[in-house]
Structure 1
Amino acid sequence: MRSLCFSPKTTSSSSSSISHYPSPSHRLGLSTPRRSFSDSNMERTLENAESIITKWNPDTSTFAKVTSLFYENRGEARDFIKFVNDLQKAMHFTVTENSSSEKLVRGQNLMQIAMKRLQKEFYQILSMNRAQLDPESVSARSSRASTRSSTSDYEDDDGTEDEIRRTGDSVSEVEHVSTIVMDDLRLIAECMISSGYGKECVKIYNIIRKSIIDEGIYRLGVERIAVKTLFNGERILCDHVFAASDSIRESCFTEISKEGASILFAFPETVAKSSKKSPEKVFRTLDMYTAISEYWPEIESIFSFESTSAIRSQTLTSLNKLGESVRIQLTEFESWIQKDTSKSPVAGGGVHHLTLDVMTYLSLLADYSTALAEILADSPPPSKSFLSEYHFDISDSDESLAPAISLRFVWFILVLLCKLDGKGKHYKDVCLSYLFLANNLQHVISRVRTSNLKYLLGDDWISNHEVKVKQFAANYERLGWDHVINSLPEDPTVVMSPGKVKECFKKFNAAFEQTCRKQSVCVIPDSKLRDEIKTSIARKITPVYRELYKTHRLKLGRERNLALSVKFTPDDIETYLSDMFLGTVGSGVS
């Protein structure tokens, strides 16, 4: 009879004294009184236990068959557990004194009925309280350590429930109910284990909770919440319910979580090995790397058992494979930039699609700087001496996030700029080539300023490249508009003959019309750069033309075809210039 072979972990001092020290009656050869004492104790225990156990026998009572003991009356449920524990102790005591007592048979029959009842209760509580035992609700409890240390023994149960009521205002109703349900499961588990029915208890638990894990893995996929709530909640629940036995805690948690965890943490390795190539793949890979890396302490803690060491190993393997995959993808990204063979000039000297794609990619990539610092820690960085030629201030200060990461991003942008320099040479009009370089570099700077790239590249990098934009813009202005500027006299107020004035206006009209027609196709997407270039051009043309117009227009006033000589008022010039670089001016000037 297994209930006689399993006793509580600790026995009372009275039991020890009875087992090892013979009483006076025994020394005098009077053994009958001892058996009478044992029998009477067993009889009292049987009488107390029999009424409540038979009341809840599902085989003899329709009420007991359709009603849950713990749901109907938790106070009576605690009494049930107490009397079963008392019966087990009395049977253990009796078998050491009188193993042939017929009361042991009665006790064993009652114990079997009680265990059948508790199995039914254990199953019902687990299956009917899935919401209350949801891993997220369980995870809301403070920690596994505090959960295991909070006793749920019968003697303290009233106090525990009072404490729960007192703290009910500070926790949600779900957490409150979750705590009660977990304590009920623990009471049943400890009673069944101490009575030798741990195997039945564990079987029920494993079947139901494993289905929760499997369903969660299917629903959550590889989201990091699986670690934060699913496995963490299951570990907390398992630790609490089977707090009485370290070996059972370990075997149960391993049984219900090992398969799901192996699938979850092996998936990133599968992704890393995938031959499918796309720019977006690196971000998915980095998401998984970041999730595993950030939650590694929790993973290590949750799967701390020796029997779950394979899960920890699989997790580290996946982490390494993901890192290796990221390094390969970054190398492929650099190669992709260098291999771009598009030769068609962008209309109006606008921003090239390569610039848009690369800077979008790098802006998103900068959000993973911490993970990239780990992944690329052992990778050789680009040559500092080579990069220093391109105005990158290289600092060895520990204040920077990771110098190697900064160098890597600088290198990617440098590869892009070199590629753009080659594409600028495809323009037949040199001034348009400079505008192309200004537009594209301005877009690069803008994306750096508005993303985490600014923390990696630094203010000096931004300032140095803004100077380059101004140089490109100045070259465009010189080559594209000097013809107009030079058509105006150095001193517009100098005395001139009507013929000279007429010639001066005609010269300006021709230069301005030609240039506006030619430059009307130009586009400057960045509003700040567009305003700067327009302002610079207008500053060199409008004030001089206004003085020329104000000073000499009247000299041509008596001519019948004045409009042929003076086609533009100063306000017209300002209007045309203000509408430039939107790709819509040419027809108006014509």
Structure 2
Amino acid sequence: MRSLLFTSSKASSPSHSSAQSPARSSVSTPSHHVTLSASIQEEDLLYAEQVIKRWDLDSPFYTKLDYLFTGDRREARQFVKSVRNLQSAMHLFVSESASSEKIIHAQKLMQVAMKRLEKEFYKILSANRDVLDSESVSNRSSRARSSVSDEDNEEEDRVSVSGTTVSDGERVTVSEMVMADLKSIAECMISSGYGKECVKIYKILRKSIVDETMYNLGVEKYTFSQINKMDWEVIEPKIKTWLHAVKVAVKSLFYGERILCDYVFESSQRIRESCFSEICKERAVTLFEFPELVAKSKKSIERMFRSLDMYNAISDQWTDIEMLFSFDSTTIVRTQTIASYVKLGDSVRAMLTDFEAAMQKEALKTPMHGGGIHPLTRYVMNYLVFLSDYTDALSEILADWPLHEHSPLPESYFSGTDESSSISARFAWLVLVLLCKIDAGAQLYKDVAQSYLFLVNNLNYVVSKVATSNLLLLIGEDWVATHNQKVKQYAGNYERMAWGKVTSSLPANPTVDNLSIEAARDCFRRFNLEFNEACRRQSTWVISDHKLRDEIKISLSGKISPAYQRLYERYRGSFVGVDSVVRFAPEDLGNYLSDLFHGAGAPGSGNTSSHSSSSSGSFSRSR
């Protein structure tokens, strides 16, 4: 203001005015304004020269440890303002055809200033990586736009970037100030025609951070040949790494870089796009190419779930991916992401086809020892339970892939569910195929009672898995109720076939039927024989579900113990040498029954026999 007032009073002094003749007063006004403007610009140039030369990197008085934006912040604002004034002066010199000496001098000053700002820009970017991390940038960029005051506000005296808060009233955090400084320098250099130097520094430093972060996340570039040669035990950990990396990359790394680019280079759409594209595009393509390589590699049904995990990860992140890589120069990222998404869907369909085919070809050739749960039943139901957790993804993948006409479901099989649902129909069909396999497996047993126990164990396992998973939503509660009733029916058949001779050996009511001593002796001997034989024959049989096991034991005890108790109490004193005829006390029966159905060494207890496990060789363990 002092320089302006001084120049104005000098130009309008009486002595100066009296030198003008009245006849030329009409043309003196423009000349007066030109002189005034030039005088102001010259003084601004002089002031700019003083400020800029104080920070000349080539000056012998410059201390290399000094930085504009880490000391007195007023000095940094004065420097940026001086550059702007210098730029205005240069425009005036050109428009007024000023002497070449002035223009050359101003250009040299501008080069000094730009060299200084270039160093400051590099210093801020390299020294503040910790406060320019993606989370800090994404959380604070919006506040930085509103909290950072105009740089021309001389009253705001910000302090060094060494503390945790750096502005009056602690309104602006370190990351906000750093971002504001970068933006101020970038705008100054771009408007002065030195944007190329600024952008080059930005791209190099920020790209190195993205590369380092992606490396730390475990993201590597592979070829199809490399992936196709890898065993599943090698690929699966890499998929787990990718699933974590894609979340961090999209939600934090790429998101933070996009915000930082948009903020620092807000003045130029072209520069924003160029910077973000060069910094992130290559790594993003590598990241989103990996699922396609996995999907195109050799397929096996154990890869189903990880493929669906990757499919869901892309689906969940797609909105953000589309927004972040919306530039024309980053179209390749969106294209690659879509290609992986489509290939994963195709791969899932192929693996589901293989799974169905393997189920239908599988034949239960050997009876399950002990009548326990067959490995095929366990594997298929656990596989379907896992699949049911991906209902939304499978609904999209199978939307245009209905069941074949040659595999219709029985009428009313979908009672209480949405029959039109393609995904429900496919799950119901797979369960039905398994039930048919279980029915066929029951025919392998020579002992009819054991065949019913096999049906009880396996059908109960299927129903329990449906009732306690998302399969219930797909297949329906009515289905569960109907097949629970079948389990009870099979259990009743088992009891009659396995224990019918034991119950029939006891008189209906020994207290009413006056049995002779000889008839009573025959009852005891017959009961001893049949009960011993039933327990011996079923000593390795198994009921895997503890609740079902207890229910069957209670049912058997209710059919055997009361009748024997009455016989025992009525005739146990009628025999000499009673132990030779009456071998069991009533409480002994419960002990013998309680020891049954655990199947010591039987497959239903958790260990499968070699011949049973090998009968489902088409399937491997699910995850």
With the shorter chain as reference, the TM-score category is 0.7 to 0.9
Q: Aligned in 2, Cα 1:62/1:508: closer, same or farther, shift over 3 Å? A: farther
Residue of 194, 198, 203 corresponding to 2:195: 198
Deviates further, 569-578 or 434-443: 434-443
8 Å Cα contact 1:406/1:456 also seen in 2? yes
Tell me which amino acid in the other structure corresponds to 1:121: E
What is the deviation of 1:123?
1.0
> Cα gap change, 1:263/1:104 in structure 2, threshold over 3 Å: closer, same or farther?
same
Matches within 5 A, 1:492-531: 492-493=510-511, 494-531=513-550
Superposed CA deviations along residues 410-450 of structure 1, whole A, max 9, x for unmatched, are: 22222222222222222222211221121122222222233
In the alignment, which residue of structure 1 is the partner of 2:345?
323
Partner of 2:99: 100
Match of 1:249 among 264, 267, 272: 272
| Corresponding position of 1:17 | none
- Write the mapping of 1:77-88 to structure 2, written as runs, cut at 5 A: 77-88=76-87
Measured after TM superposition, the shift of residue 403 of structure 1 is 2.3
Query: Equivalents in 2 of 1:249, 1:160: separation in Å?
Result: 30
Which string of whole-angstrom CA distances, capped at 9 and with x for unpartnered residues, describes residues 271-290 of structure 1? 110114251x1111111111
Match of 2:415 among 393, 406, 412: 393
Q: 2:252 aligns with which of 211, 216, 229?
A: 229
Superposed displacement of residue 65, structure 1: 2.3
Work out the CA distance in 2 between the residues paired with 1:167 and 1:332.
66
Task: Name the residue aligned to 2:610.
Answer: none
CA contact (8 A) 2:69 2:120 kept: yes
Indicate the residue corresponding to 1:18 in structure 2.
Answer: none
Distance 1:167 1:485, change over 3 A: farther
The question of whether the paired residues in 2 share the 8 Å contact of 1:25 and 1:33 is answered with: no
* 1:439-518 equivalence runs, <5 A: 439-493=457-511, 494-518=513-537
- CA 1:148–1:243 in 2, change beyond 3 Å: closer, same or farther? farther
247, 265, 268: which one pairs with 2:291?
Answer: 268
Post-superposition shift, 1:64?
4.0
Aligned to 2:42: 43
Using the aligned pairs only, state the percent identity: 51
Distance 1:411 1:96, change over 3 A: same
- Deviation (angstroms), 1:224: 2.3
Q: Which residue of 2 aligns with 1:16?
A: none
The alpha carbon displacement at 1:389 in A equals: 4.2
Query: Aligned-pair distance for 1:489?
Result: 1.2
The reply on whether 1:573 has 2:589 as its aligned counterpart is: yes
Q: CA separation in 1, counterparts of 2:149 and 2:327?
A: 24
Match among 371, 375, 379 for residue 397 of structure 2: 375
The whole-number CA distance in structure 2 between the counterparts of 1:579 and 1:201 is 83
SS at match of 2:152: helix
Gaps of 5+ in 1: 1-23, 170-174
Q: CA deviation at 1:308?
A: 1.7
Structure 2, unaligned stretches of length 5 or more?
A: 1-22, 160-164, 220-241, 603-623
2:524 maps to a residue whose letter is F
> Residues of 2 paired with 1:570 and 1:389: CA distance?
49
In 1, the alpha carbon distance for the partners of 2:414 and 2:463 equals 14
Paired residue type of 1:258: K
**Inter-partner Cα distance in structure 2 for 1:134 and 1:437:** 60
- Aligned-residue offset at 1:321: 1.0
Matches within 5 A, 1:425-444: 425-444=443-462
User: Aligned pair 1:303/2:325, yes or no?
Assistant: yes
Tell me the distance in 1 between the aligned counterparts of 2:391 and 2:155.
53
> TM-score under structure 1 normalisation?
0.86
1:576 touches 1:585 (CA, 8 Å); kept in 2? no
Cα deviations across residues 57-105 of structure 1 (Å, max 9, x unaligned)?
2222565423322122333212211211121122213321234253322
Instruction: Give distance in 1, aligned partners of 2:601 and 2:194.
Output: 90
> For the Cα contact (< 8 Å) 1:522–1:583, is it kept in 2?
yes
Matches within 5 A, 1:331-342: 331-341=353-363
Relative to structure 1, the CA distance from residue 152 to residue 115 in structure 2 (aligned partners, 3 Å threshold; closer, same or farther) is farther
2:301 touches 2:355 (CA, 8 Å); kept in 1? no
Q: Is the 8 A contact 2:141 2:259 kept in 1?
A: no
Aligned-partner Cα distance in 2 for 1:313–1:343: 49
Aligned to 1:534: 553
Structure-2 residue corresponding to 1:414: 432
1:553 aligns with 2:552: no
CA 1:507–1:30: 2 relative to 1, 3 Å: closer
Measure the CA separation in 2 of the matches of 1:55 and 1:228. 44
2: distance between equivalents of 1:160 and 1:357? 70
- Secondary structure of the residue aligned to 2:389 is helix
2-structure distance, mates of 1:224, 1:563: 75
Distance in 2 (CA, whole Å) between partners of 1:358 and 1:62 is 80
Counterpart residue type for residue 203 of structure 1: K
| Cα distance between partner residues in 2 of 1:451 and 1:141 | 43
Cα distance change of structure 1 residues 268 and 552 upon mapping to structure 2, 3 Å threshold: same
Is the 1:59–1:65 contact (alpha carbons within 8 Å) kept by the matching residues of 2? no
Residue of structure 2 equivalent to 1:10 = none
C-alpha distance in 2, partners of 1:123/1:34? 42
- In the aligned structure 1, how far is the partner of 2:481 from the partner of 2:301? 33
Q: Find the partner of 2:306 among 280, 284, 298.
A: 284
Match of residue 367 from structure 2:
345
* Shift in alpha-carbon separation, 1:578–1:404, aligned structure 2, 3 A: same
Are the aligned partners of 2:510 and 2:567 in contact in 1 as well (CA < 8 Å)?
A: yes
Partner-residue secondary structure (3-state), 1:140: helix
The AA in structure 1 aligned to 2:80 is I
CA RMSD of aligned residues (A): 2.9
- 1:544/1:104 CA distance change after superposition, 3 Å: same
